[in-house]
Amino acid sequence: MQLLRSGPSPFVRKVLVTLHETSQYDDVEHIDVATTPLTPDSKLIAANPVGKIPALVRSDGPTIYDSRVICRFLDARAGGGLYPEHRIWDTLTLEATADGILDAAVLMVYETRFRPEEKVMMEWVEGQWGKVSRALDALNTRWMSHLNGRMDMGHIAVACALGYLDLRHDARSWRTGRDGLAAWFDTFSKRDSMVASQPDP
């Protein structure tokens, strides 16, 4: 299998953490691609017509893409138990919440990185941060009992989302007023899989 990936992508990091946690990291050839929304990589487009990373190229079937699909495939392949049936809807909702944070946080970066300065719409940027902030509040109030339980894909997704906020939106100080979530992340981020997948700035 080949994993098409790119630097600090938090969606790629979800897959990397999953590979480490399920002892499959060495089963995959890691291929870095240089891609942006404006200049997608040709190899990536050949694998994923949407042109997004990550994409997992398989020898025995079609390429699969979207981090949620890849992570579920890898978990099933290894029998890792990261999607426990007895609480599957909670796990999937928590993963979707984390991915919603990432979608908004990445769009904030894109708005200032790929648009001319005079066309950047700060009201739109703040609207995206509003999504992030509400989701963080929900994690801190509704989801701590789940996060403090047995690890599943929800834990991995949330940790990668919070790590990305530290990487790209540290000035927003997401920890303020969210002591429980901050303490949980400080502990979870010390896992070997999180340390091994820490992206460069």
Whether pLDDT at 90 is above 90? yes
CATH of 2-78, one of 1.10.10.10, 3.40.390.10, 3.40.50.620, 3.40.30.10: 3.40.30.10
Q: Are 15 and 71 in contact (CB under 8 A)?
A: yes
- Report the side by side order of strands in the sheet with 29-32: 29-32, 2-5, 55-57, 64-65
Residue 23 structure tokens: 């002892």
Residues of the chain with CATH 1.20.1050.10: 85-191
Residue 40 predicted with pLDDT over 90: no
Residues 6+ apart with CB under 8 A from 2: 28, 29, 30, 31, 56, 57
Asked if residue 200 has pLDDT above 90, the reply is: no
CATH class (in words) of the domain with range 85-191? mainly alpha
Q: Are 122 and 181 in contact (CB under 8 A)?
A: no
Question: pLDDT tens across 132-182, in order?
Answer: 999 999 999 999 999 999 999 999 999 999 999 999 999 999 999 999 999
Averaged pLDDT, 25-49: 89
CATH 3.40.30.10-classified regions of the chain:
2-78
Question: What is the reported pTM?
Answer: 0.95
Query: What pLDDT, on the 0 to 100 scale, is given for residue 178?
Result: 98
